[in-house]
Structure 1
Amino acid sequence: MQKFISVIAFMTLSACSGSLLVNNNGWVEYAGRQGDIVVRNNIEGLIPITAMSGRNGAFGVGAYQGLDGEITIFEGKPYVTHVRGESFTMTHSTEGAAIFGAWTQNSAWRDEPVPADVNTYAELQRFIRTQAAAVGIDTRTTAFPFLLSGRARELQWHININRTAGQEITRESFQASKDNYIMQNEEVDIVGFYSELHNGVFIGTYAPAMAGEPEQNALHLHLVSRDRQSAGHIDDLRFEGQMTLRLPEAPEPN
């Protein structure tokens, strides 16, 4: 079976503060580093939303500048959410930028039903890895996007809101800078990225759902509700056999 081996390339795009280095691995383009939020206290916008969106087959995820929201790109359209008061707002504006993000442009997908015994975050990660390897994706060296669609039993998710009070950002204050939500038995579309190479870059170093698991987190997941009223970062999940996984169908881009 043909193996899709990643080639890492670099390009630049015009960001808010000048030229930004964009990395490429497999199907995935990415820039910025999640780890820099704590290590360097960097929460400025680096990746314009326009760089991630506006094209057919564009999908992406990112943290909004200033720790003030979440960015999800689905089929080229931005879903930008911000916590405001006791609730949140959502716009489709291309104004603003991501602190870090990952995005892709892909229109060819192969569908795989998610079995009923794949219910948890960790089980989903293992299922995605197994299915990707079965179609020839070298999951050890290649980052790749995937989609999920269907009815989720439960999704625990959040939207960033800056609660650091202008102080040095610690892991604790970063984790506190979120408003948390629970969605149950709703139809959703999920944008996801898998990588075993980019922990602390566009894959979270801290994933509560992977606590106690023998492997590190390799997923970054954002949801867009089917009614298009909610969007944000998924922290944990429960499925009940009503989801479909979509993996890239075409060979990895060169």
Structure 2
Amino acid sequence: MKNNIKCFILVAGMLATSCANDQKGGYEVKYAGKLREIMHKNDISGKIAIDSLLERPGLFAVGALDSLSGEILVEEGTLYISRVEGEEVSLSKAKNAQATLLVYAHVNDWKRVQLPDSLNSMEELEGFLAHLANTQRVSKPMLFRLSGMPTNIRYHIIRPLGANATHRERKAAGFSGVLTGEQVSIIGFYSDQHQGVFTHRDSNVHMHVRNDNESIAGHVDDIQLGSNVQLYIPVE
């Protein structure tokens, strides 16, 4: 009888520890800066040093450099900074960058999620992510990764302009391009609660793309996935 009680206490303790770990587990999406502050108050100052976040493994992030001088993508602790000079795109991996806007999370474990056969627009992808968040009972912003060879991706890279440039001027001056049938990695964040914070007011996603030869990294404006892309979300 005593042995049975001891076993019961041991199992209960293990379950309690497991529950506590589950409650503490998962990942947390954080952000620095806000899109509405950039767009309406022209606040383009640096808000966070990226190297301070790289000290912890598993960093994934997207955002914009201070002074809106380029785009930021961090994939599994590797930082990609894309800038435009004239009509030339340069990609670097410098670690001493400041971001005026950054949304980020630290994740080490991922699971693959089956995608529909074809998603032909950003709106269709966003609809699937909303469905996924609901079925997975994800009530917080959701980090995701896309890997493969999408049919088509439209992207832009912001150019540095004067401190007094308007949002419309910055948008018009951005470098735009298309990736067609290239192997790419995409880091994105989905949330229906952060419009004007880290997603634009007409969207619930913020995604950046990098091609495999590391010649391009930029903000995704639209995407046609096709059938050669895989989706991954963090293991909670």
State TM-score, norm by structure 1.
0.78
In the alignment, does 2:130 pair up with 1:144? no
* Amino acid of the structure 2 residue aligned with 1:91: S
Larger proportion of strand: 1
Kindly state the Cα deviation for residue 132 of structure 1 after the two structures are TM-superposed: 2.3
Q: Is the 8 A contact 1:38 1:174 kept in 2?
A: no
1:190 to 163, 186, 190: 186
Q: Quick one: percent identity of the two aligned structures?
A: 29
Structure with a larger share of its residues in helix: 2
Q: What secondary structure sits across from 2:203 in the alignment?
A: coil
* Aligned match of 1:23: none
Instruction: State the secondary structure of the residue aligned to 2:181.
Output: strand
Contact 2:67–2:163, Cα closer than 8 Å, also in 1: no
- Consecutive unaligned residues in structure 1, runs of 5 or more: 1-6, 8-25, 206-215
Structure 2 spans left out of the alignment, 5+ residues: 1-22
Matched residue, 2:102 = 101
Paired residues for 1:10-159 under 5 Å: 27-138=28-139, 142-159=140-157
Q: Return the letter of the residue paired with 2:109.
A: A
Counterparts of 1:161-240 in structure 2 under 5 Å? 161-163=159-161, 165-167=162-164, 169-205=165-201, 216-240=202-226
Rounded to whole Å, the distance in 1 between the matches of 2:75 and 2:197 is 21
Check whether the contact 1:53–1:73 (CA below 8 A) recurs between aligned residues: no
Q: Does 1:244 align with 2:230?
A: yes
Amino acid at match of 1:82: R
Separation of aligned partners in 2, 1:117 and 1:81? 29
C-alpha displacement of 1:103: 0.4
RMSD between aligned residues: 1.9
- The code of the aligned residue for 1:73 comes to V
Structure possessing the higher radius of gyration over alpha carbons: 2
Conserved in 2, the CA contact under 8 Å of 1:114 and 1:242?
Answer: no
Give the Å deviation of 1:102. Answer: 0.4
In the aligned structure 2, how far is the partner of 1:52 from the partner of 1:174? 28
* CA deviation after TM superposition for structure 1 residue 96, in Å: 2.3
Equivalenced residue count is: 212
Q: Tell me the distance in 2 between the aligned counterparts of 1:166 and 1:203.
A: 22
Runs of 4+ in structure 1 displaced over 2 angstroms?
A: 51-56
User: Is contact 2:154–2:177 with CA below 8 Å preserved after alignment?
Assistant: yes
TM-score (norm 2): 0.84
